[in-house]
Amino acid sequence: MTETTYAQSATGAEVHTTHIQEPRVLSMQQALNTALDEILASNTKALVFGEDVGHLGGVFRVTDGLQAKHGSSRVFDTPLAESGILGLAAGLAMAGFTPLPEVQFDGFAYPAINQIVCQIARLNYRSRGTMPMPITLRVPSFGGIRAPEHHGESLEALFAHVPGLKVVSPADPHQAYHLLRYAAASPDPVIFMEPKARYWQKAPVEAAPGDDLAGARIARHGRHLTLVAWGAMVARCLQVAELAAEDGIDVEVLDLRWLSPIDGVTLAESVGRTRRAVVVHEAPLTSGLGAEVAQLITASCFDTLRSPVERVTGFDVPYPSGDLEDEYVPNVDRILYGIQRVLEYKRG
Amino acid sequence: MAELTFPLPDLGEGLIEATVLEWLVAPGDQVERNQPLVEVETSKSAVELPSPQAGKVLRIHGEPGQSISVGQPLIVFDVPDDSAGIVGTVPKDEAPKRRVRLSAVLDED
């Protein structure tokens, strides 16, 4: 059950403490909806807006019922203009609001890149810390739902390359609930990449986060090799770990969570133990985030690594139509091949 | 479960309403995609409207003889939560099929 306690902040804005009190089994879509509901209830400056998020409740039902509950001045539809959505977010943040805009699909974020990169990411820097941008931009991301072009893309490397932005992706309902609340409370702009292929699977959401939400987490402990993943690839890597166990290989799965800043300490700690690593992502290989992760691992674990870090990724082509996405997105066999390459490596 | 309302679609040629002739389904029926739902008559013709999707019929709007405007609710379906998305399809969470086996000599030094 959700409970709300009321208090009055120094600025007069009502600040409530609202969160689930006991474990609930939710889909990620429901977990995000619950988190948004609580953020709106607890922070009177929070606003949710985007294409179809109001009356319709979002194309994935993530904002379902929020307009009816919190009113159309706090949860509202925008024109089909992502540049305008993010420009509005920047202006609202300047005026002291906590904007939670949505860009309906990954591939629709491109028209908003100028506002994100040239304004939102650097206004706090430009203003010497007097103009924080506490914006959480929710973006249904990655592939896996047989959708048309511009609905299956992985933009994490683009955003992670921009100083001033934080980038995070939850892997399951529990992570989604707690990371969204964490992001909304952050004074920095956060790109919140929701793995749309994982919107529907239900899992327990605990009342307490369970660990430090600022870093990576070990989703499964193992001794022989670390699989590094984020978003929808975490669930796939957990499947791969089960398959590898049938062959006697004990795989650790590291859910990176934050794609900027990357938690190099947890990476080093994990691969320092397993001495082998494979990075898995849906985005194309070249200049993908896997390269950054591989370098961080190499820099910290060079002396003990048993093999170069492998990458299993999408291909260097535009994201394909739905018929081909099972070949494009890393599947269990491609990840198993990646593991085998690392296991077979012999020093020359 | 979620409710999904299917409004009377634009039947073409600028017609703004249609008259219900006969319902071919009733509340409680499980219908398949493209299954005929209702026969309606416009000032041009009588047509059968196929179901836009599978689902259980919750409510129907309009008795035979009544007219409905384009865009007004025609039928309401009860659909599973996981089919309530508008774009794409819900991925099936099935056990993965593998072809690749791992083999390794793990000399722990």
Identify whether residues A167 and A287 lie together within a single domain: no
What's the mean pLDDT in B54-79? Answer: 89
B85 touches A: beta carbon within 8 Å: yes
Identify whether residues A105 and A226 lie together within a single domain: no
DSSP B28: T
Residues of A carrying an active site annotation: 151
B106 touches A: beta carbon within 8 Å: yes
Distance from CA of A45 to the nearest CA of B (A): 29
Give the start-to-end residue ranges of the domains of chain B. Answer: 2-83
Cβ atoms A244, A336 nearer than 8 A: yes
Q: Which residues of A fall within a CB distance of 8 Å from B106?
A: 224, 249, 343
Chain A residues within 8 A (CB-CB) of chain B? Answer: 27, 59-61, 105, 144-148, 151, 196-197, 199-201, 224, 236, 239-240, 243-244, 247-249, 322, 331-333, 336-337, 339-340, 343-344
Residue A279 within a domain: yes
Identify whether residues A165 and A277 lie together within a single domain: no
CB contact under 8 A, A239 and B100: no
Q: Please name every residue paired with B41 in a beta bridge, in sequence order, or none if there are none.
A: B19, B46
Identify whether residues A100 and A243 lie together within a single domain: no
B26 touches A: beta carbon within 8 Å: no
Q: For residue B80, what pLDDT is reported? A: 72
Q: For residue B12, what pLDDT is reported? A: 75
CB contact under 8 A, B99 and A333: yes
Q: What is the mean pLDDT of chain A?
A: 94
Percent of chain A with pLDDT over 90: 90
Give yes or no for residue B6 having a pLDDT over 80.
yes
* In CATH, B2-83 is 2.40.50.100: yes
What's the mean pLDDT in A297-301? Answer: 98
DSSP B97: P
Residue in chain B closest to A197 (alpha carbons) equals B91
Residue A211 within a domain: no
pLDDT band at A11 (very low <50, low <70, confident <90, very high): very low
DSSP A277: E
Element at B69 (helix H, strand E): strand B67-69
A239 → closest Cβ in B96, B100, B103: B96
From the list A149, A148, A124, A152, the residue with the least C-alpha distance to A139 is A152
CB-count exposure of residue A3 (10 Å: 0-12, 13-18, 19+): exposed
Identify whether residues A9 and A56 lie together within a single domain: yes
Residue in chain B closest to A321 (alpha carbons) equals B88
Identify whether residues A257 and A333 lie together within a single domain: yes
Identify whether residues A188 and A328 lie together within a single domain: no
Structural domains in chain A (count): 2
Q: Pick from A152, A177, A205: which residue ends a domain?
A: A205
Q: Specify the residue for token string 């100083």.
A: A163
Q: Which residue has the higher pLDDT, B107 or A210?
A: A210
Q: Which residues of A fall within a CB distance of 8 Å from B102?
A: 244, 247-249, 336, 339-340, 343
Q: For residue A52, what pLDDT is reported? A: 95
Sign of the torsion angle spanned by Cα atoms A277, A280, A284, A289: negative
Q: Which residues of B fall within a CB distance of 8 Å from A105?
A: 87
CA A310 to chain centre: 22
Work out the number of other CB atoms within 10 angstroms of the CB of residue A71: 11
CB contact under 8 A, A332 and B88: no
Q: Pick from A164, A182, A205: which residue ends a domain?
A: A205
DSSP for A143-201?
A: --S---TTSS---HHHHHTSTT-EEE---SHHHHHHHHHHHHT-SS-EEEEEEGGGSS-
A333 → closest Cβ in B81, B87, B100: B100
Which residue in A61, A64, A194 has the most chain B C-beta atoms within 10 A of its own C-beta, making it the best mutation to test that interface? A61
Is the confidence metric ipTM above 0.85 for this complex? Answer: no
Distance of alpha carbon B71 from alpha carbon B47, whole angstroms: 17
Identify whether residues A251 and A127 lie together within a single domain: no
Identify whether residues A322 and A237 lie together within a single domain: yes
Q: For residue A311, what pLDDT is reported? A: 98
Distance from CA of B29 to the nearest CA of A (A): 25
Give yes or no for residue A181 having a pLDDT over 90.
yes
From the list A107, A217, A222, the residue with the least C-alpha distance to A158 is A107
Residue A201 within a domain: yes
In whole angstroms, how large is the CA radius of gyration of chain A? 20
pLDDT band at B108 (very low <50, low <70, confident <90, very high): low
Work out the number of other CB atoms within 10 angstroms of the CB of residue A4: 11
Q: Which residues of A fall within a CB distance of 8 Å from B104?
A: 224, 248-249, 340, 343-344
A336 → closest Cβ in B2, B81, B100: B100
Residue A212 within a domain: no
Domain coverage including residue A49: 2-205
Contacts within 8 Å (CB) and 24+ apart, B33-38: B37/B74, B37/B75, B38/B74, B38/B75
Identify whether residues A225 and A84 lie together within a single domain: no
Span of A40-54, A140-154, A230-244 with lowest mean pLDDT: A140-154
Identify whether residues A25 and A159 lie together within a single domain: yes
What's the mean pLDDT in A25-51? Answer: 97
Q: Pick from A149, A179, A205: which residue ends a domain?
A: A205
Identify whether residues A244 and A177 lie together within a single domain: no
Span of A155-169, A230-244, B47-61 with lowest mean pLDDT: B47-61
